[in-house]
Structure 1
């Protein structure tokens, strides 16, 4: 299994069409690794913008100039956002407030995380502002913490953060890095209704180009188109994994689901038995699936993407929805090699989620311990 493409080659698309939105939704759901919120709400919102005549351009990172503003959502886009629907202009207002406060004009809307519900929000902001989106992101998948990007807590993300919520309020956090911004944001979200649009500190185009994981938007689109074709063909889990460029780690029936509480990330585990009854799997989970054990041996861990798919419907099962009796295929999807580098890995490895285990990268033929252990 090779790493996901990290290329500055021509984008998979230069403008999003309706079927691309569905593919992006499917790809983002896979790359969510069971967390990050479901992208369905964002897909519906984006389709509404496109139906109203808006366009979303996707450009290569080599063409970027000026300022890139990463846009996402803070809070629970999986549950609260369904109960507290958007006003429709939060993302546009986020961009406008950032521009006004900083005295700059944003040239490009950056994708923070191409996995999970956050993947669709930059494209909505792009549709509302007429600004393009680069074929790149800063995580390569979904992660939970503001610091879990390739930028991390570096000086590039110490600056001005802007959030906007449905009732018209906007909040500016100035001079903060990711840890401080996250503390303030989590405390404010209850007053903001549970979720809000969020703009990260803007990055100069050359900085974004140097740091970003190029080609990840195209990668998500390809995954989504391939997943749709596999579902239509009713392919089994192993065939689907090959089609997606990943690995099929096994299939089983869920025997027990344990959910923990406390700590920064929700904890828990899923126990499964293989169809022949001879093999046992355990999947650890935080906000995302984080580690797979087969008969007690660790065979895969974050930062690779661990997916639990319903064996019959081929749909991704989020961590909050896996239940006893589910028949599940366990798939592993590769991430860009950059996430396995020593300067990034500790923020993404199992110990970042409170698991006492070294990161293990699955290669064709079996698991391989990651150099340096990620500790």
Structure 2
């Protein structure tokens, strides 16, 4: 696929925002930077994962920190390129292509800005199939690959190279650095070969996000139901086979704080027509949705709060009292739902005292 029109980037931003499960950062600023890069370079090459050479050097990249900080602390636009150039020095060779470490939110657009400057393609895949709050929750760590060497850069020009023996330590160091640099920074991590990417990355997630964003946009333009279009587009991707509306109501309370490099809190939604109350706990991303003491969806499945009229995603840092919303859930890619992956990204990995149950089983009587 060749991305040559701003509308394609807008679709990607809309789809990636949904797949972020409330996290990954609001894509607005990343979209502005990507549109400016598109004007300069004339287009982006989106390469299918299957076409990547086995000996290619690929560099996943994205932002680390609290999304609440990104609302006010803007990037300078050169963080990704600086990090990738330093990685090339370390590896002693040219990077052949980039990919998002996570498809969710602004991170789904981050590699395009760097690709334009380096003149390299973006691979149609990512490392999470959604967004997760911690670096070691990438599929590459789940499958035993190292995050290092990684390079962390900030808007003030600061650059740090991280080398650790394990990926949990890498996450802790990178998080502490991001906090010390103002709460957010760009990170290039998990450098991998084309063969490793083909074995472990989640294929087709960028084109899936574009399809989801396009479906919502076209439905709105045609006066059709954008939520129906969203569900159909998700299921058509093959990556996200189930989608349903969990709740419809108005936000009546938001508890949110920036702590330890994360945006942590809870949003409370009262249903219309006396249909009860829903609470969603989040750590950058929405983690669990409950109503009347019953769990309706949980990580790693996607839980996204959306404007009930426009179907625009509302990321966790943008949640406000009085917003009229629908809560939409979607099944995570199968690669995240096996027992081994769940030990890294399931509810117990976030300190919850229960095992994962798929959203389609928790809501067997509900319809999308």
How high is the TM-score relative to the length of structure 2?
0.88
Aligned to 2:185: 196
Quick one: distance in 2 between partners of 1:314 and 1:257? Answer: 20
After TM superposition, the structure 1 = structure 2 runs for residues 116-135 of structure 1, keeping only pairs within 5 Å, are 116-135=105-124
Matched, 1:103 2:100: no
Quick one: distance in 2 between partners of 1:153 and 1:206? Answer: 17
Shift in Å, 1:112: 0.8
Aligned to 2:62: 72
Aligned to 2:296: 299
- Checking the alignment, whether the CA contact within 8 Å between 1:29 and 1:316 is kept in structure 2 is yes
Aligned to 1:37: 25
1:235/1:130 Cα in 2 relative to 1: closer, same or farther (>3 Å)?
same
- Checking the alignment, whether the CA contact within 8 Å between 1:299 and 1:360 is kept in structure 2 is no
Quick one: distance in 2 between partners of 1:257 and 1:26? Answer: 23
Quick one: distance in 2 between partners of 1:238 and 1:196? Answer: 34
Quick one: distance in 2 between partners of 1:264 and 1:196? Answer: 10
Secondary structure at the aligned position of 1:93 is classed as helix
Aligned to 1:217: 206
Matched, 1:143 2:132: yes
C-alpha RMSD over aligned residues: 2.5
Deviations 1:207-253 (A, max 9, x none): 11100111111100001101212333455575355344421122122
- Count of matched residue pairs: 355
2:324 to 324, 327, 346: 327
Quick one: distance in 2 between partners of 1:235 and 1:181? Answer: 46
- Checking the alignment, whether the CA contact within 8 Å between 1:360 and 1:367 is kept in structure 2 is no
Quick one: distance in 2 between partners of 1:300 and 1:341? Answer: 17
Aligned to 1:52: 40
- Checking the alignment, whether the CA contact within 8 Å between 2:31 and 2:109 is kept in structure 1 is yes
Matched, 1:28 2:13: no
Aligned to 1:170: 159
Unpaired segments of 5 or more residues in structure 1?
Answer: 1-12, 369-375
Shift in Å, 1:56: 1.4
Quick one: distance in 2 between partners of 1:355 and 1:211? Answer: 27
How high is the TM-score relative to the length of structure 1?
0.86
